[in-house]
Structures are given as structure tokens and as C-alpha cells.
Structure 1
Amino acid sequence: MIKRLLAGVAAAGVLGGLGFLYYAWYPPIAPIERPNPASFSAEQIERGRIVAAEGDCAECHTRTDNGGGPELAGDYRMDTPFGAIYSSNITPDVETGIGAWSEEAFRRAMHLGVSRKGVHLIPAFPYDHFTKMTDQDISDLYAYIMTRPAVHMSRRPNELPFPLSLRILQAGWKLLYLRPGVYKPDPRHDALWNRGAYLAEGNAHCGACHTPRDLMGAEKKGSAYEGAVVDNWIAPALNEHNPTPTTWTEDELFQYLRFGVAPLHGPAGGPMSPVPHRFLSTVPEEDVHAIAHYFADVDHAAEREKNDKAALARAMEESKTDLIGPNVDPDAKLYQGACAACHYNAAPTPVLGRPDLALNNALWLDEPTNLYQVMLRGLTAEEGQSGVAMPSFYNALSDKDMARIAAYLRRTRTTLPPWTNLEKKAAEVRKTVQPVPVNSSH
């Protein structure tokens, strides 16, 4: 009896293994001659440029360390809990890029996460979002990429330990998390909402940064847009749990995504900065409106913005207190000397270019990470509001100084509990920032 039972278990295991291998196997797709750029129309190439911009393709497929690299040639380092991963060269170079890929092979990679050779791609390439893209958008993107300059450049090998380095294991990940299929419009919403949802959920893959991940590296189900840590910054929640006292309304979202600064929420810094400045500023305005329209619904802006007037008035009043009388609070004096001259605002609303910190995400998050990042890095004239810079305080403020300013702002600008271990956290964030030369300026 026991022998028969063990035999049955073994047989089931063998059949299950064979079934998994059948599921995991994809045939190679034959290489082709690099397509002639003249075979694509100017209209299709321009549509593809828009698709590439809305998907931020160049952001993750262009090396930024070691002096940088050619656009789309890959080798961008992504640090993950599993090890470092380097992006692929997606220029039309035949040997090191995807010049030998047919449109069929390209579409399979986008929709199913499988390379031309039949190898499973690591989901650092967010095919779980790209699977929702239409064939037309993928065809246009293919046309755009195949007409870019071919760059002969290999990427560094991934630094994944065994057995995570085995690509067949990605098939198991897909079995659990990938739901292939093009986005289907929701009949409960209008065309603008559905366009925004299609872009946000698909090509723009907003959840890849703004949704927390589980132990398998997948976006947590039921936690869409709850916020996550990305490149040593906190990508804030995009839903109703965003903690800022004024609502991210459709107009605020549009201003931020199109121009890199929202009047009541401040500028886009860190990993978010290229999104408005390099990409969404170059696409049709109606698409940016669609994304803003979608997320204004996700965060229930229409129901929440009734409290904005009182929150704004309170923030303006708090901003004035820093400049009233001889303040005996030593932390306030430090803040006045380092920050208040540029961040002071008076009623009725903040001046564009003078972000009011009482309204900024950085002070309302669970950790002071983003506040410290901006203090240490500053913002160049190309980030945030165009032409407006913030100097780096990397050399001007010690970890203790930053901790004092953070504590002061948290207790005077928010209604939230104080942050803890502020000086230790300042030191930890400093380690993630390149030292700023003493004589450098923004």
C-alpha cells in the first residue's frame, strides 16, 4: 500500500515536472536581417517615439554609472533584493542589441517576457505591465527602436546567485503572477479614464515603482499604488493613502506630470524627475491629462479635496511662524539659516518655485528618506521646476544638523508622530549619495 502510494506521488511529481517544462518551453524565433529604416513610415516612427517616451524606455535602458552610456544601449544597473540586474541593449545592433529580432519576437518579449531565443526574461523588465499593450503600440514602438542608431555594446552579467540565475525559474514566477492579455476598457468609465488606465497600468507601468513588492519580487496583490522604496527613495502612495494634507487633484497631477512641479505639492525629484522632464513633456498633452484623470479617480480626489482649503490656510500660517520674533528654538534657528529663505510662503497660496514643506510628501511619509535625499543631493535646474535649482547641502549640513531640521519640520509642519533615529537614518541616506565636490554648484 505504502509502495503504491509513493509510486503514485513519484508519478505525479514526474508528470507535474513534465507539465511545467512544457509550460516553460518556448521555441527560438529565427533571426532576421536588420530592418531597413526606410521600411517604416515617418508617421509610425513618430507614434513609436511617443510610445517609447510614455514607457520611459531610455530611463532603464541607458547606463548611468561608469560615465554613462549611449541611449537605449542598456547596461543600466538595477539593485534588487536578489542581486544586481543589468538592462539589455535594445538598439538595432545585430550582435549585441535586437537588430536581428523580428516584430513577432519583439511582441513576444513585450507580451510574454520571452526573448527571441526562447529564454525567459527577468521581470525587472516589467512585461507584467507591457502585456496589456496593444499590438499597434508594440508595432509602432518596434518601428521607432529599429530606426535608432545601432550601438555595439554588451551589458555586464547579472549578479544573481544560483539558483536564481536559472532563467527557467522565471516560468514559475510567471505561472504565479503573469496574467497575459491586452488591456480591456472598463465600461463603467469614460474614454479619458480608460486611456489613462491603459497607459498607467500598461506602457507607463506606474505600479512598478509605486506598488510594494512581496518576497518573490512581484507587486503585492491588493496593495496597488500603496507606495514603495525605489533607488533609495520612497515612491509615495498614489491612492487615497497618500498622506499629504492637500489632495492630488487632477490639475495638480497634470502640472506635476507635464511640467515637473505642482503648485501645492512641489517639484519632482530623484528617480521621478526624468518622467516629466525627459518623457511626458514630449508626448501629446491629452495623454498626460488622461493619466492625471485616472489617478485623480484612484486617489478619490473629488471626495477628499473639500478639506484642502483649510489645510492650505494652516500651511500658510505655519510658514509665517518661522519669521516671527526672536525664536528661541535652536532647531528653528538652524532651519531659518539653511532653508526658510527659499521655503517661506505667505497667504493665500505657495509661490511656484518656493515649495511649501508643510504640503510636501517628504514630511508626511513614514520615514525622512526623501527629505534627506533632497537635502543631500539638491535639485538641479533641469529637475523639478524648470530653471529653478536647490543647492546640495551635502557638505554644509552634518547628519546631526539634518536630523534637527527634520525633527523641527515634522513637529511644526505635520500632525504626525515624530520620526525616530533621525541622525542614524541621515547617515544611512548619505551613504547612498555621491559626495558633492566642495566647489561645485547647481
Structure 2
Amino acid sequence: MTRSARIIAGIVAVVLIAAVAAAFAIVWRPAFATIDPPAPQTFDAALVKKGRDLAAIGNCNDCHTVRGGRNFAGGLPVPTPFGTIFSSNITPEPETGIGRWSEAAFQRAMRSGVNREGQHLYPTFPYDHFTNVSDEDDRALYAFLMTRQPVRAPARENQLSFPFNQRFAIAGWKLLFLRHDTHQPDPKQSAEWNRGAYLVEGLAHCGACHTPRNALGAERNSAQFAGGDVDNWHAYALNDQSHSPVPWTADALFAYLRDGFHPDHGTARGPMAEVVSNLSSVPSSDVRAIAVYMAGVSGTPAADRKGQGEMALAQGKTAAQANAAGASIYAAACASCHESGRPLPYGGINLGRSTAISSPDPRNLANIVLSGVRAVEGERSPIMPGFAVSMNDEQATALLNYLRARFSNQPAWTGVDKTVQDARRAQTVFLQTSPGPRNAPADPMQRDKP
């Protein structure tokens, strides 16, 4: 080998070694030592109570509890464009849960998405938002979870194709998209607004559902709160692109988040129903703070949006007359409630104010028509029967098209027949894979009871 060849070979070797070392530094994380599971009574009761409220704000139980299963024991399938990921067991069970995790290991998982063993966690666990959670709040969450009832529930194997089934690839994703800057209060805003910003951008992780994602599954920061997709539902835009016929106000948001219903905006359904179920148990000051912040995000509505629902009612009657089939189905199945003027729970909302009907995506309306709205036990909440059995796909499609034409001033949807088929298929899969209703008592402290 000539001298120049040896020099080139040496340079290549150095570059390769440096690349391997850099890749190792990016991917490798040390394991934390195991601990003996701490006794529940060693945690301060006030800290546990604070952690209970924070866990409810973070909606932890709904992602980490499979329907019909034990609370926080994991196993819930989370569909993604790359395959299915199953949530983990976060009860203090020592072998299959987090019972042997130290507080430092828990905080690293929250901040960096790395488990106790040093493995990178998939970002379906929204640690890209949890980087904004304070040390004090992480400590309270840890205290709450470590005082839950231990449940032995081994992790289910994720169903991901190569290379997404290789956890080292997540390190590259983090390098591109994970930011460790914690939330900083805005001195120009009120304490209430800042509290809401801290919760929304952090533990509540609202943008995880309400922000569209790029091809690699990261939130598109340039389109924050512009609407997203989750569990065959469309999470509506919460910014100035909202299609709500009646603009949101802080008071309307507070009522909706607290009670799951507002007469100008309808009923929380799908994943949002789980969110408001949890928020119903937390301090009202936190819910109000979230509402105040999100009202600021949505901004001042354009003048032409005010009263849009009433305009749609007047303009849509003529446009809907061409759909005789949809009109007859509406008259038989819907009008008696939605045009009765009766109060809850037997009167339906003014459909001219329905975001589901004015939205550019008909999925939510298809889900509601097929599944209905179940009553909330102990509350004077809206109810609506589901029509999955009594309506075939053709009838449901005709009804959706009629509702769009009659109660909105938006252009007709396309592909509604396929949307109905997909909604029915998703409902069937959900029922087949769900052995029973998910436990959801009002007090999250009781969520770990059989």
C-alpha cells in the first residue's frame, strides 16, 4: 500500500470510528438502578392528591387502560401510520410495571422518553410535551402512580414494520424533533393565561391531537392547533382556522371542558369525551385557565363568522330539497329531537351550530350518527340513539349529505359513502376488541379499583 493510500485509509477509519462513536452517543442511554417498591404510606397525602389532579389533566388513565382492563395497567392499542403501539403498565407492580423505578428514572421518561432500562420510548407517549412539566409536578405524578394498586400485566409486543420496530431509530427522531426547552411564562400575560399555557403545552398535551403531523409523525409546529386525526376521529382546529359556526369564547370553552357540552357547540364525543370526563374532577381554576389560554389561541373571530349558524339554517333549506331521501330520513329519525325546542336531555342541539356538520371532514358526524351519544351516569347530559343497526350505509350517506346541505353554508362533502363505511368498520373493530366499558369513575383516585 502506498503512503497516500495509507493516509486515505487512516482518514476513512477515523471518520468511521467517529461516526460510530457519535451514533453510540446519540442512541445509548444508561440504565437506572432498580429500587425496592416504596410503601404507599411513605408519600405525602397532599402530594398524592396533587398528582391525582395532574394525572387527570394529562388523561393518563385513558391511554394506559384497556377497555375492560385494570386501571393504568397498559395494553391499549394505539394505531399509527407505522403500525400499532401498545401502552405500557404504569402501576407500581415490580416486574411488569414501574414499581422498581426511582423518581429520577420516572422523570427521565417524562422529559426524554427513555425508560428505566435505557430504551427509547415511542413518541406516542407525548414526552415532546412533557418536557414542559416542572420537577415538582413530575414528583406529584410519581407519588400518585406509585400509590396505585399494582397490577401484573406484561407488555404487549408492538406491531411495527422495519425499521420502525428498531428503537435506535427513535433517537434519530428525537434529534430532529425533540426540544428540551421548558415552558417559560409570558410576563405580558395574566397569571391565569400563563397557567393555562403551561398546562396546554405541557401535561394536557392538547396539540398532540389537535395539530397535524408530518411524514415522520412529529407535530407540524407551523400549523399548531390546526386540527389533527386520532382514532378515526378528526380533532378540530382550535386556532383561527376553526370551522365552528359559533366562535368559541373562554366561557364556552370552560363549560364544554367542564361538562362536555355547550348549547352552541354540542357534545364532546370520541377521545374528547374521555378528556372532559377527567377534567370534570380537577380544580375548576385549572379548567378555566386552559379555557382562557385556548380562547387566546383561537383569536378574535372574523366578522363573517358571527351568526353563521343562523345564516346556514336560512340558506340551507333550499339547497337540501334536492335530497329527498336524506330529508325523509332526517324527518323520521332526527327532527323530533333537534327541532323540538325541548331542554336536555331530550332536546337536540341546533344543528346549524354543529361543528361536525360545518367541518371539512365528515368523519365525526358519521361516527355520531352510527354510535349515538350515551348518557353520562348521574348527570343531566345529552343523549342520542345510534343508528348503526337501523340505517344501512346508503341511508347514512344520504342523511349526512342532507345535514351538510341543510345546516351549513359550506360546499358539499366528497366521498361520504367511504367515510360511512370506514366509520362502521372502525366501530365494529372497536367493539370486537373491547370486552367491556372502560372504568371511568369521576374521581381518578378510585380508578385503580376493580
CA offsets per residue over residues 101-157 of structure 1, 9 Å max, x none? 010110011011111111111111110011110000000010001111000111211
Q: Tell me the residue number matched to 1:208.
A: 208
Residues 2 and 258 (structure 1), Cα distance of their counterparts in 2 relative to 1, 3 Å cut:
farther
Out of 24, 34, 39, the residue aligned to residue 36 of structure 1 is 39
1:61 to 52, 56, 64: 64
Alignment of 1:331 with 2:323, yes or no, is: no
Contact 1:315 1:356 in 2 (8 A): no
Find the aligned partners of 1:384 and 1:343 in 2 and give their Cα distance.
23
SS in 1 for 2:426: coil
Please say which of residues 17-26 and 366-375 is displaced more in the overlay: 17-26
Q: Report the Cα distance in structure 2 between the residues aligned to 1:5 and 1:171, rounded to whole angstroms.
A: 31
- What's the CA shift for 1:21? 1.1
The structure-2 alpha-carbon separation of the partners of 1:330 and 1:169, relative to structure 1 and needing over 3 Å to count, comes to closer
Deviation of the 1:432 alpha carbon = 0.8
2:307 corresponds to 1:310: yes
* TM-superposed deviation, 1:187: 2.0
Deviation at 1:345, TM superposition (A): 6.2
Alignment equivalent of 1:341, drawn from 336, 346, 370? 336
In the other structure, the counterpart of 2:147 is 147
1:191-340 equivalences under 5 Å are 191-277=191-277, 279-300=278-299, 303-304=300-301, 310-314=307-311, 317=314, 329-340=324-335
Instruction: Give the aligned partner of residue 25 of structure 2.
Output: 22
Whether the aligned pair in 2 keeps the contact of 1:249 and 1:305 (CA below 8 Å) is no
Aligned to 2:24, the other structure's residue is in SS state: helix
1:393 to 371, 387, 393: 387
- What is the aligned partner in structure 2 of residue 440 from structure 1? none
Shift of 1:388: 2.9
Gap change, CA 1:416 and 1:92, over 3 Å in 2: same
Report the residue type matching 1:238 in the other structure: L
1:366 equivalent in structure 2 = 360
For 2:229, what is the secondary structure of its paired residue? strand
Structure 2: stretches of 5+ with no match in the other structure: 433-450
**Displacement of 1:251 after TM fit?**
1.0
Corresponding position of 2:127 = 127
**TM-score, normalized by length of structure 2?**
0.88
User: 2:202 is aligned with what amino acid?
Assistant: G
Gap change, CA 1:308 and 1:134, over 3 Å in 2: same
User: Structure 2 vs 1, CA of residues 153 and 328 (structure 1 numbering), >3 Å: closer, same or farther?
Assistant: closer
The one-letter code matched in structure 1 to 2:353 is: L
- How far residue 80 of structure 1 moved from its aligned partner, in angstroms, is 0.8
CA distance 1:281–1:12, change in 2 (3 Å): same
TM-score (norm 1): 0.90
Aligned residues: 426
| Pair 316,2 (structure 1): closer, same or farther in 2 beyond 3 Å | farther
Give the partner amino acid of 1:287: D
TM-align CA RMSD? 2.7
After superposition, the Cα gap between the structure-2 partners of 1:350 and 1:309, relative to the gap in structure 1 and judged at 3 Å, is farther
Q: Distance in 1 between matches of 2:108 and 2:359?
A: 39
Distance 2:260 2:407 in 1: 23
* 8 Å Cα contact 1:273-1:384 kept in structure 2: no
Q: Larger relative contact order (C-alpha < 8 A, sep ≥ 6)?
A: 2
Closer/same/farther in 2, CA of residues 239 and 351 from structure 1, 3 Å limit: farther
1:422 deviates by 2.1
How many angstroms does 1:353 deviate by? 5.0
Post-superposition shift, 1:328?
9.2
- For 1:269 and 1:182, how far apart are their aligned partners in 2? 32
Counterpart amino acid of 2:69? G
Change (3 A) 1:354 1:334: same
The 2-side partners of 1:215 and 1:385 are apart by 42
SS of equivalent to 1:120: coil
* Aligned equivalents of 1:155, 1:63: Cα separation in 2: 12
Q: Does structure 1 retain, via aligned residues, the 8 Å contact 2:345–2:382? A: no
How far apart are residue 428 of structure 1 and its match?
2.1
The sequence identity of aligned pairs, in percent, is: 42
Partner secondary structure for residue 88 of structure 2: coil
- Closer/same/farther in 2, CA of residues 328 and 290 from structure 1, 3 Å limit: closer
Give distance in 1, aligned partners of 2:424 and 2:58. 30
